[in-house]
Structure 1
């Protein structure tokens, strides 16, 4: 693609050499990643990269086909566990490239593998079965692991021809499980100790090291696996039948990349990966216990058997007597330990080796997608009906989470129209000004937030006011949902995939993020560079949203900024706030202390540190930090109020009253508005209640409806006001009123 490099070649080339590199655009769709490294001055999303790839493939295919590829039926293969926002990005990329894709034009990779196994040239499955067959497909790639169980039945129509009826029985989809996980663990457990020795790394430094050296780990892993296979084959041993503990003791060497953006730049260094080191790093994945493992930073670090066991249980079949074939597919099956772990598990549950088949790891998915496109074009129906692999639930703030669609439903759901939930959700409290709606997916291992948004509701909306919800999930697993007040049908939000439309005034953090994105794109279009200040505005805005995907975006931006501008104090402060939002108080403290070490003159950084120390129960340390801040900036209400709370925590109530009085005087005599901010109300109420002045606390509570958003958005007052929810002090205050 000219000066663009994609895939594995991109991972081996330094982007500073004139290439624009994109190593894993499809995997990066999860979380709507924004690219920085290796892009020079370009600011781009993975979907833009995929659109360029599709257009390049079209231009190459046209001479060979003799026709415009855009006139052909199109199907795009995606992982079964590709999140809902990623599906929308795939469709958007195809449309940008000029492909007329529609609902149902996405086919999941296990389905494509099955279609190729039935109709493709490899002859993996019998062409003329004498009866129904049950087939499982285990597909593990770079970033996802999908297991699907199908029932195949052959019937005769009027005595002519054969028609395969394919019914999906279960899907066990584990996003964030695949070869990328192996590489990350090897970088973390095998390479990082060699580079750092006894010096430990902070979580932020470790993230940067893994980001810079994951591809180094991948190359070393692949080289070592090839060497192991060579030795085993020379000894006439089948790789899939050799336990990993019997692998030959080999080693490969390489060199890590330099990691800037840390206190001490982590230098490049020669490293070694041995068989023992690799297996030790991968031990959680090789466990014979399907339940062993845990989710770390959104990734599954655990047994490769979990998805298979889950799918077999969900299919409600006896694998020993009722499963006819298990097909292994996906790039990770090239690693010898993957087929061994699966084969050993199958032997334990009664599936003999003769029932295990291997798909074409290079072309099976592509051929299956082509078959799907042809059948869809000829009949108007997909050869296999898509099925929902996870339970879908909805939570409306103050209501119980409700399961609204169960796993196993044939899509689209409902078959026509929308499913309406008219009596399930209500406004939980009087005088709320905002309602939070969260859509989530639940599997055996985890509950994943799909999207979480809030919308403003009219003041004085009474508790018990009904909220109506309508839902539709299309054949591409795109979710279309609308939530609105029954009495105010124009007030609510509408979700189509990741597109969200909010009626009325959007929440402040939504406007902030929108503004930052617009400013960045305008600057990139005119100057080719994203302004640092706007990048930080975007990172801060994303950190404030009710959405783990947004938090990952914030981390991605902050990693880029810290890597290239390690002395940017505001980046470290926002990182502290983000860690705080994620309930990582120690990480928040590190971020704030780093910001102060760079810039000791910004008052919010020091106050943020004092506040998080107080939240950690270290009130004496908080008093020490906040006393200096309050003395230095006596007209700063945030510092004075948190200082008063720290004094109260130490039992110094009279000193707290004095600090509060000084704060109010300083605030009222400053150029700022005398109105209290929403985030300040809970602090002052607690101070007054601590000294027994309930009447004054009630008076402050009456100002809640008139509270404004603070102009200083660098500290938690803005965060606390925006993130009011079930765990916020503001909920208990609203209840008390």
Structure 2
């Protein structure tokens, strides 16, 4: 295939610039039709440095005054409602503006080299969600790139391509197949890809590369180390733990937004350079024997609201303290929500490929955060140390900051100018459905090359007689989709498939599917003799788990906020408060507390916002602060029974039973139909030893529930109250029955509809009870 013009590779990564703490997207052009080597056109600093910004303001807020790790916000439906940067109120808008600036800079001095008229490959994390990928493509379209000529590429693969195009490739590859793991450790994410590669004279590009596995999404990057340095090293030099606890979360976050990039990251980078130099000269024992100390000056001191003194004018950190900060990142992986081990995604990727660690031939490090000498030491100690995994070569890409963009440009060149696909993307995991019996039925296996089955066609993935309509007279069937493995499927969402009228149970259901190279799913369903009909895919098939009902409500709220932003409307404080409440329901209490405190800065007399803050603090176990927040809400709106009742519940949790009884009794007077108030009154009476009064209040609550559930018989919250009340009254059999209903309702919420409508599998003649996974 002949080619002219230029192919472009764009890396929207968040690696740290060596001289200043900012973000460094990059673009690389590869000229086609000649033999000139690809070269970087530029690296571009998108936003002003902190020193420039802080000429006008001492404290800066991420998402308002500056942006960092925007890529990590893609696909989350987040917005930046208080952004002071014009045209930057969503992650996609910020990304589009970055691409626009990159396009303009690429044309400076080279007007003919216009990415808008060329093929462009944009790199993304290998484990990027479907929503994040779509928003990346939307940003490219908004920036003026031709959608038909824009493709996405996994970042670790792009980094590997640049290495294989360099003289260093001979140290990694040979004539025999070698298993190579690419560890892409950037500012916001840790991305891992495993390939099998060799030099191959018969291949068009002189090498053969087979994609074996990629890691799942890990929002774990150098920024997390920066935040850990801020918490463990910088904060203690500003305030004592007691002083820090008295600051509002909004104030603490403002300080952290300002000093994490301008002080904590500077300390980290300076220490890493010093340690790397010492290790190169004298080895690691010299670092242990003679600890290193580095300093980071502050451009100017400033006052922090709530503290009696200004910040120090400089900060310090030793290699000993940094080693303690790095300990959780360097430790063996342990399952759990707070897992931060850098070996976690590595071992996960090896497991997905069923490759024992001892069969790994090379580990290739890439990304600005991979320059951390402790990370390289971890990989060397794990795969080249005295342990069993001691055969792997530890290598680095030619340029930790630019290799991804160069590799993307090179792949774009080979694809468009030579018609050669250097590395085909793959399905990261099995994709399948869960049938009514609870059985996981795989449709496409992990490791399948993409696009599947090819660029333009689709494939029937059903199998012989596997699926059927589960019951007579259904208007639609539910098809739960999973990713993962057949033994351990993770529900990713549910597809709703319309069913023709009067379709009987047992009617066959067939599925056709296509997965494009950008990992977008397209579905068709055939019910009985009806024609194939397209169906909307789930929002994010590649998520680590299905969103809960509360998380879905949060996403819906954020979509409404995005619609307001897109229409040029301001986002009112009440809408931000509602987002904070839904974040709390989705158990994102840290972010929820920050959001509601920012709302209260704008509307300090908003009783609803004070009440939401109290609920969040109560969830966090901060009972004293929760009581103060509920009291503020009750004082602002003294006739609102809910606020007074929440104050009474907080007092009861603190053991202040007399005050709690007074507050709850007043709330019951203000609104006698609030079930939870009577439950709370019953609990307080019981704690005070007044069992008759306790049972009287429980009885009132039960009567109110019976009345309310006559109109809403499937309300999950009411059933939870009912189970709790029967338990409190000693009716354990009724409590168990209520809990069984709760399990069924939770299953319905999980599958986003009636579980009886879930598609039937091979055992459709005798449908088993649905098993929630």
Taking a change above 3 Å as real, the CA distance of residues 218 and 247 of structure 1, as seen in their structure-2 partners, is: farther
Residue 645 of structure 2 is aligned with which of 601, 607, 610? Answer: 607
The 3 A distance-change label for structure 1 pair 611 and 379 is: farther
- 1:199, distance to aligned residue in structure 2 (A): 1.3
Report if the CA contact (8 A) 2:642-2:667 is conserved: no
In the alignment, does 2:100 pair up with 1:59? no
The aligned counterpart of 1:9 is 49
> Aligned-pair distance for 1:72?
0.8
Partner Cα separation in structure 2 for residue 476 and residue 93 of structure 1: 15
Structure 2 residue aligned with 1:134: 179
Q: Report Cα offsets for 1:410-445 as digits up to 9, x if no partner.
A: 2334553364598679989x999999987665599x
Summarize deviations over 1:675-702 as a string: whole Å, max 9, x none. Answer: 56834465468657977999999xx99x
Q: Would the aligned equivalents of 2:495 and 2:537 in 1 still touch at CA under 8 Å?
A: no
Aligned to 1:477: 519
- The 3-state SS of whatever aligns with 1:65 is coil
Cα 1:722–1:518 change in 2 (3 A) is: farther
In structure 2, which of residues 263, 281, 285 is the aligned counterpart of residue 220 of structure 1? 263
Cross-structure match for 2:404: 365
CA distance in 2, matches of 1:520, 1:92: 14
Look up the match of 1:383: 422
1:594 is displaced (CA, Å) by 1.5
In structure 1, C-alpha distance between the alignment counterparts of 2:219 and 2:76, rounded to whole Å: 11
1:144/1:176 contact within 8 Å kept: yes
| 1:149 corresponds to | 194
CA deviations 1:32-86 (Å, max 9, x no partner) are 3322465278771111110111112112222433233211111111111323322
Cα distance change on mapping 1:267 and 1:318 into 2, 3 Å:
same
Of residues 356, 364, 378, the one that matches 1:341 is 378
Q: Secondary structure at the match of 2:280?
A: coil
Q: Distance in 2 between matches of 1:608 and 1:380?
A: 66
Query: Are the aligned partners of 2:173 and 2:198 in contact in 1 as well (CA < 8 Å)?
Result: no
> Deviation digits for residues 373-420 of structure 1, max 9, x if unmatched?
122224566321112334556668994677665533323345533645
Task: Give the equivalent residue in structure 2 for 1:586.
Answer: 621
Change (3 A) 1:268 1:668: farther
Distance 1:466 1:170 in 2: 34
- Structure 1 residues 167 and 277: alpha-carbon distance in aligned structure 2, compared to 1, 3 A threshold: same
CA distance in 2, matches of 1:52, 1:163: 38
2:577 pairs with 1:536: yes
- Distance of 2:514 and 2:163 partners within structure 1: 32
Question: 1:87 offset after TM fit, Å?
Answer: 1.5
1:22 Cα shift? Answer: 1.9
Consecutive unaligned residues in structure 2, runs of 5 or more: 1-22, 24-43, 543-548, 756-768
The count of residues paired between Structure 1 and Structure 2 equals 679
SS in 2 for 1:284: helix
Alignment partner of 1:637 is 2:674: yes
Mapped to 2, the partners of 1:235 and 1:694 lie a distance apart of: 68
Residue 226 of structure 2 corresponds to 183
State the match for 1:85 in structure 2: 131
TM-score (norm 1): 0.72
Matching residue of 1:291: 333
Q: Does 1:307 align with 2:307?
A: no
CA RMSD of aligned residues (A): 5.9
Which residue in the other structure is 1:710 paired with? none
Shift of 1:106: 1.0
TM-score using structure 2 length: 0.69
Asked whether the equivalents of residues 481 and 496 of structure 1 are also in contact (C-alpha less than 8 Å), the reply is: no
Q: Residues 380 and 689 of structure 1: is their aligned pair in 2 closer, same or farther, counting only changes over 3 Å?
A: same
Tell me how far apart the structure 2 counterparts of residues 305 and 510 of structure 1 sit (CA, whole Å).
31
Q: 1:45 aligns with which of 90, 97, 108?
A: 90
Residues 576 and 340 of structure 1: is their aligned pair in 2 closer, same or farther, counting only changes over 3 Å?
A: same
- Aligned residues of 2:649 and 2:660 also touching (Cα < 8 A): no
Q: CA deviation at 1:641?
A: 4.4
| 1:417 matched to 2:459 | yes
Post-superposition CA distance 1:260-315 (Å, at most 9, x none)? 7xxx579863273321322222211133xx3257432xxx422x233334434544
1:101 aligns with 2:147: yes
Distance 1:574-1:97 versus aligned 2 partners, 3 A rule: same
Shift in Å, 1:166: 1.1
Q: Closer, same or farther in 2 for the Cα pair 1:40/1:284, shift >3 Å? A: same
The answer to whether the 8 Å contact 2:88/2:94 transfers is no
Determine helix, strand or coil for the equivalent of 2:537. Answer: strand
In structure 2, the residue corresponding to 1:151 is in which secondary structure? strand
Aligned counterpart, 1:708: none
Counterpart residue number, 1:707:
none
More off after superposition, 108-117 vs 446-455: 446-455
Match of 1:74 in 2: 120
| 1:252 aligns with one of 295, 320, 332 | 295
SS of corresponding position for 1:495: coil
2:15 maps to which residue? none
Q: 3-state DSSP class of the match of 1:291?
A: coil
Q: Aligned-pair distance for 1:367?
A: 0.7
Task: Please name the residue that 1:273 is paired with.
Answer: 316
Deviation digits for residues 650-683 of structure 1 (CA, Å, limit 9, x no counterpart):
69775467547877999999xx999568344654
